[in-house]
């Protein structure tokens, strides 16, 4: 049936989008965490050996951390990796489970959306007032805040798209799609996809060495 095909196409589009998005977020995240670790190490060595300081390395690292975290929210959203307690859910019949899954999506959107809305106002105020950090660097905080805010918006957008696709899958009765969009990966299978790569890494690591 043609309806089924479009649904399938749509899921393919989503899969492609989500894996590209995941890749982009991961590459950015890897660069950030490496930069932070190397920056901190450089600061330690400079301080110990040359009695010098990069000046405000901790502050820059803190902004990097906030941005890393906000980007990470999207990675976790795409992997449905937020901790959900599914003691009750696992006892429920299927329709109730679907209802709980959608409710969980709505609740996360509500909290994340609310946070992002308030954050938008905060960053607006920082721009308007030209707020600077009271640190030696006196960073105009609107700069790091804006990047952080953009990452939060990406997060909320992803959550909304996933919710929209879930509702669509529900209406079309596409259980498989619904499961990949809304069911908890929880603790139970959260590590499963990861574990594959881990085992792979372990065996290659052992073989190579």
Partner 1 sequence: MLATSLFLLFGLVLLSISVAASLGLLGLILGAIYSPMPLYRGLADIVWVNAIEFLLLAIPLFVFMGEVLLRSGIAARMYEALTKWLAWLPGGLMHTNVGASALFAATSGSSVATAATIGTVALPEAESRGYNERLFLGSLTSGGTLGILIPPSINLIIFGLLTNTSVPDLYMAGLVPGLLMASIFTMTVLVACLMRPGWGGARITCTWAERLRALPELIPPVLIFLLVVGSIYGGLATPTEAAGLGVVGALVLAGARKALSWPMLLSAAEATMRTTAMVMLIVLAAMFLNFVLGVIGLTQALASFVAQLGWSPTAMMFAIVVFYLILGCFLETLSMLITTAPLITPIVIGLGFDPVWFGVLMMVLLEMALLTPPIGINLYVVQSVRRKGTLTDVVIGTLPFLAAMMVMVVLLIAFPGIALWLPKALG
Partner 2 sequence: QEAVNLKVVGTWGYLNTWNQVEKPFWTEELKAASNGKITVEALPMTEVGLKGFEVMRMLQLGVFDGAHGIISYLGDDPVAEGADLAGVVQTWDEAKAAVAAYEPVLAESFDKTYDAKLLGVYPFPSQLLYCNAPISGLADLKGKKIRSYSKSMSDLFTGLGATPVTIAFGEVVPALQLGTVDCAVSGTLPSYTSGWGEATTHLVRLSTGYAFSFAAVSKVSWDRMDEETRDIIASNAGAMIDRAWEIGQKDDEMGIACLTDGPCEVGDPAGLVDVALSDADRAQLADVLQATVLESFGARCGAACSATWNETIGRAVHLTIAE
Which of 1, 85, 128, 176 forms a contact with partner 1 (CB under 8 A)? 85
Query: Residues for the chain: how many in total?
Result: 209
Residue 37 touching partner 2 (CB under 8 A): no
Instruction: State the Cα–Cα distance between residues 108 and 183, nearest whole angstrom.
Output: 14
Q: Which two tokens stand for residue 132?
A: 């600077």
Which of 84, 146, 163, 168 forms a contact with partner 1 (CB under 8 A)? 84
Least Cβ distance, residue 23 to partner 2 (angstroms): 33
Q: Of 66, 38, 67, 70, whose CA–CA distance to 54 is shortest?
A: 38
Residue 86 binds which of partner 2, partner 1, none (CB < 5-8 A, kind-dependent)? partner 1
Which of 52, 175, 187, 189 forms a contact with partner 2 (CB under 8 A)? 52
Asked whether the beta carbons of 66 and 36 are under 8 A apart, the reply is: no
Residue 141 touching partner 2 (CB under 8 A): yes
Residue 130 touching partner 2 (CB under 8 A): yes
Least Cβ distance, residue 44 to partner 1 (angstroms): 5
Residue 170 touching partner 1 (CB under 8 A): no
Q: 139-166: buried (b, 16+ CB within 10 Å) or exposed (e) per residue? A: bebbebbebbbebbbbbbebbeebbebb
Binding residues for partner 2 restricted to 87-116, rule: CB under 8 A: none
């Amino acid at each position: 049936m043609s309806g089924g095909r479009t649904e399938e196409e749509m899921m393919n589009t989503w899969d492609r989008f989500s894996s590209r998005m995941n890749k982009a977020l991961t590459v950015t995240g890897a660069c950030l965490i490496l930069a932070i670790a190397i920056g901190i190490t450089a600061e330690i060595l400079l301080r110990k050996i040359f009695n010098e300081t990069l000046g405000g390395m901790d502050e820059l690292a803190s902004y990097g951390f906030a941005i890393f975290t906000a980007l990470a929210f999207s990675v976790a959203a795409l992997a449905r990796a937020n901790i959900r307690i599914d003691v009750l859910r696992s006892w429920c019949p299927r329709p109730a489970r679907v209802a709980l899954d959608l409710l969980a999506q709505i609740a996360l959107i509500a909290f994340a959306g609310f946070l992002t809305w308030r954050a938008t106002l905060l960053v607006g105020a920082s721009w308007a007032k030209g707020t600077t950090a009271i640190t030696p660097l006196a960073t105009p905080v609107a700069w790091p805040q804006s990047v952080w805010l953009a990452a939060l918006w990406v997060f909320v957008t992803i959550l909304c798209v996933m919710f929209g696709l879930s509702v669509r899958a529900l209406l079309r009765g596409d259980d498989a799609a619904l499961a990949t969009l809304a069911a908890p990966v929880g603790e139970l299978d959260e590590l499963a996809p990861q574990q594959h790569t881990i085992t792979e890494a372990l065996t290659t690591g052992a073989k190579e060495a």
